């Protein structure tokens, strides 16, 4: 096999790498950020795509985040790939926090007070086992209301930050290319018959 390890990993090494990869936990996030920065669309299109993806990640429509992000990015003339990549903010590590935050904010916005404190596991248990008609009032309505506020806020911040970062990234890259071009233009080109050196 082409990319096989020279020394076979032990069971303990595999277990350790499952919880703490050799390249670190931030490598996938850095890869996604660089992938988004290198998209060839305009800064507005990239930023609008990221904003659409982040907004959809805050909605309780788990499993439909990418479809919602693509639809919103299309409506806002955003980049579809940036929208799909930005939905990865809702992953198994962050979804419990996002869901609980949107639920709590929705309860506050709608004036709903529950006697017991609902944890993230209880919230997902309700989402899994209740019918849609039973879910709407106690769970989905507060989550959608909270997702509206948190999602729009996060999407606005993501749009502004992404547009600024994409513009500065492209300006730096353009300056580097100009510098390389001037260096290449200033160095003399030797012909084959030139033996002066």
Q: What is the pLDDT of residues 130-162, one digit of tens each?
A: 666 666 767 778 888 889 999 999 999 999 999
Closest-CA residue to 106 (of 75, 69, 148): 148
Task: Look at the alpha carbons of 161, 165, 49, 42 in this order and tell me if their dihedral is positive or negative.
Answer: positive
Averaged confidence pLDDT in the chain: 82
Q: What is the pLDDT of residues 52-72, one digit of tens each?
A: 999 999 998 888 899 999 999
Whether residue 121 has pLDDT greater than 90: no
7-46 tens-digit pLDDT = 787 888 877 777 777 777 677 778 888 888 888 889 999 9
| 155, burial (CB in 10 Å: exposed 0-12, middle 13-18, buried 19+) | buried
Structural domain spans, the chain: 40-170
pLDDT band at 129 (very low <50, low <70, confident <90, very high): low
């Amino acid at each position: 096999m082409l990319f096989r390890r020279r020394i076979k990993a032990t069971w303990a090494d595999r277990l350790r790498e499952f919880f703490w990869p050799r390249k670190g936990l931030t490598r996938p996030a850095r890869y996604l950020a660089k992938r988004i920065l290198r998209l060839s669309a305009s800064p507005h299109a990239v930023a609008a795509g990221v904003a659409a993806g982040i907004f959809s990640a805050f909605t309780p429509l788990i499993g439909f985040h990418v479809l919602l992000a693509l639809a919103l990015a299309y409506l806002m003339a955003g980049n579809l790939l940036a929208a799909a990549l930005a939905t990865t903010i809702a992953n198994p590590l962050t979804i419990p926090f996002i869901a609980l935050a949107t639920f709590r904010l929705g309860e506050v916005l709608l004036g709903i007070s529950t006697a017991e404190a609902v944890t993230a596991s209880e919230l997902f248990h309700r989402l899994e086992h209740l019918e849609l008609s039973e879910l709407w009032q106690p769970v989905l309505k507060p989550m959608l209301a909270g997702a509206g506020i948190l999602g729009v806020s996060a999407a606005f911040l993501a749009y502004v930050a992404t547009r600024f970062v994409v513009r500065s990234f492209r300006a730096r890259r353009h300056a580097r290319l100009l510098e390389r071009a001037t260096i290449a233009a200033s160095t003399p080109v030797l012909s084959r018959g030139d033996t002066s050196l």
